[in-house]
Chain A
């Protein structure tokens, strides 16, 4: 499967925060979830893709083109939603659309009008008077109305009610069905990704910890629970992160089968969720 987005050794130094040599690929026709704790660098990656911040090193290729050398051509095929939707506050939704639409050759006015109705957005409403959730919906309507091949969503579901979130996820799944479009989706709400993501990229402290197929991660991984007496220097190597408690430990593994072979029935292995992965990778310890 060809890649729609290729990121290689991307670095950015803000002084108090560094994005360190980030690399990952987003295959065509898939959804990738970008997860990580606050301040991990997720928004910086999305901003670098859109050239909103200047990279210090590395390369970004989108649709096989360099994101800087072919900036306008690349961006014409990208739909974006920023974490804080910022437009000219005093304009109506209709006026904002009138400013944005002419920049896109493939602008689909009928689709935009349909999305406005679907999202219950009044075209004559002043942008500043919308709630955060409604602003996010409007940004989504703009992002989805020009047949973008790559959709970049930075925390798009924050501020949205659960009903709309579910509808949105279904819509995003529908978008990639033609297998030509891809979505990069940064979020804290990992349950959203469990529903729709094909790949998960986990970023922590500006570094990619892993970038893997979601099904593989969830199928192979597990949360291991057992007595503290089982923890030794040798057994700790099975775990990506662990929490020791008075009556036993909890640990994350990316190879449940190996843990089962090593510990037998002395441990309980629960199914892992993306939230578990994020928790153990962020807060978990590897020391015994």
Chain B
């Protein structure tokens, strides 16, 4: 396991330092200038999630997967090492973004808000959500598949917004989002702070475990 993590880390160290560092700093600066804390966290976590995923697309690019899978490791170990490394990298990139946002003066987002328990759990939940969805897609369909999905989601979002603006949709997008917010607020009110965060943390773990199992299942069936 350690060898697999080190292999990926050493292979992509220049990419991580350059792209991860630059994008992290860029996102930290511009994220702090956004008026909305939630939008800032949403974009920051999405970028933090994309950075580790990009290093695994490089294996597709070099067609080196057959060498990795010929080494004395199982495919499950390869996937597990990637989940561990990705989570470590996502947390590092997100921490860098928060650090830049807090340190550089003139930001609209306050340091206290970014470092609040709510903001940290929201960030962790979004990281878990993005990564849990994108990683199996990357494993099965590669970089192209992942980007097709992302573009597809954007197109779907644009279409839904267009239809909602014309009042063609039989439901209200705003109402759906608002009801999710109300459900979470109600859960928070019923369980209290620690219980609420525990439930959120449990949900993240379940989602990550399901994503991991799916990725292993898909990777074990992938012909190289």
Residues of A participating in the B interface, judged by any CB pair closer than 8 Å: 47, 50-54, 71-76, 78, 80, 82, 86-89, 91, 95, 98-100, 102-104
CB <8 Å contact, B71 and A54: no
Asked if residues A52 and B69 are in contact (CB atoms below 8 Å), the reply is: yes
Asked if A82 contacts B66 (CB within 8 A), the reply is: yes
CB distance from B142 to the nearest CB of A (A): 15
A54-B223, A102-B3 are contacts. A89–B62 as well, Cβ < 8 Å? yes
Instruction: Confirm or deny: B74 has a beta carbon within 8 angstroms of a beta carbon on chain A.
Output: yes
B2 to chain A, nearest CB (A): 8
Interface string of B74-87 (1 = CB under 8 A from A): 11010000000000
Given A88-B11, A99-B11, check contact A75 B223 (CB 8 Å).
Answer: no
Q: What is the CA–CA distance of A284 and B67 in the complex, to the nearest angstrom?
A: 38
Contact status B69-A51, CB under 8 Å: yes
- State the CA gap A53–B224 with chains docked (Å): 6
B-chain residues with CB within 8 Å of residue A50 when the two chains form the complex: 69-70
> Across the interface, do A72 and B11 meet the contact criterion of CB distance under 8 Å?
no
| Contacts A54-B223, A103-B3; A87 near B72 (Cβ below 8 A) | no
A74 cross-chain contacts in B, Cβ below 8 A: 72
Residue contacts A-B, CB under 8 angstroms, 18 given: A47-B223, A47-B224, A50-B69, A52-B70, A54-B220, A75-B73, A86-B63, A86-B66, A86-B67, A87-B62, A88-B11, A88-B62, A88-B64, A91-B11, A98-B10, A102-B3, A103-B3, A103-B73
CA–CA, A265 to B122, complex, Å?
91
Q: Are A82 and B6 in contact (CB under 8 A)?
A: no
Point out the residues of chain A lying under 8 angstroms from B63, CB to CB: 86
Size of the chain B interface, CB-CB below 8 angstroms: 22
Which one of A72, A88, A95 contacts B72 once the chains associate, using CB atoms below 8 Å?
A: A72
Which residues of chain B have C-beta atoms less than 8 A from A88's C-beta? 11, 62, 64
B72 touches A73 (CB 8 A): yes
Q: When the two chains form their complex, are residues B223 and A102 in contact, meaning their CB atoms are under 8 A apart? A: no
Q: What 3 pairs across the A-B complex have the smallest Cβ distances?
A: A76-B72, A75-B72, A53-B223
Chain B positions within 8 Å of A51 at CB level: 69, 75
User: A88–B63 Cα gap in the complex (Å)?
Assistant: 8
Q: How far is the CA of A275 from the CA of B64 in the complex (A)?
A: 33
B190 at the interface (CB under 8 A from A): no
- Residue B221 at the chain A interface, CB threshold 8 Å: yes
Name which residue of chain A comes closest to B2, CB basis.
Answer: A102
Task: Give the most central of A51, A75, A99: most B CB within 10 Å.
Answer: A99
Q: How far is the CB of B168 from chain A (nearest CB, A)?
A: 42
Q: How far is the CA of A24 from the CA of B112 in the complex (A)?
A: 69
Chain A residues with Cβ below 8 Å from B6 are 102
Asked if B38 is at the interface of the complex by the 8 Å CB criterion, the answer is: no
Taking A82-B67, A95-B10, A103-B72 as known contacts, 18 extra A-B pairs with beta carbons closer than 8 A to each other, sorted by chain A number, are: A50-B69, A51-B69, A52-B66, A52-B223, A54-B220, A73-B72, A75-B73, A78-B70, A82-B66, A86-B64, A87-B64, A88-B11, A89-B62, A99-B7, A102-B3, A102-B7, A103-B3, A104-B72
C-alpha gap A78/B70 in the complex (Å): 9
Q: Which of B1-37 contact A (CB under 8 A)?
A: 3, 6-7, 10-11
A103: B residues at CB distance < 8 A: 3, 71-73
C-alpha spacing A87/B68, complex, angstroms = 9
Smallest CB gap from A89: residue in B: B62
Question: Which residues of B from 174 to 189 have beta carbons under 8 Å from A?
Answer: none
Q: In whole Å, how far is B161's beta carbon from the nearest beta carbon of chain A?
A: 41
Q: Which residue of chain B is the closest to A68 with respect to CB atoms?
A: B74
Residues on A with C-beta less than 8 A from B66 are 47, 52, 82, 86
**Contacting residues, chain A, for B69 (C-beta < 8 A):** 50-52
Q: How far, in whole Å, are A96 and B42 apart by their CA atoms in the complex? A: 38
**Contact for B77 among A54, A72, A95, A100, CB less than 8 A:** A72
* CB proximity of B78 to chain A, nearest CB, Å: 11
Given A88-B62, A88-B64, A99-B10 in contact, is the A72-B73 Cβ separation under 8 Å?
yes
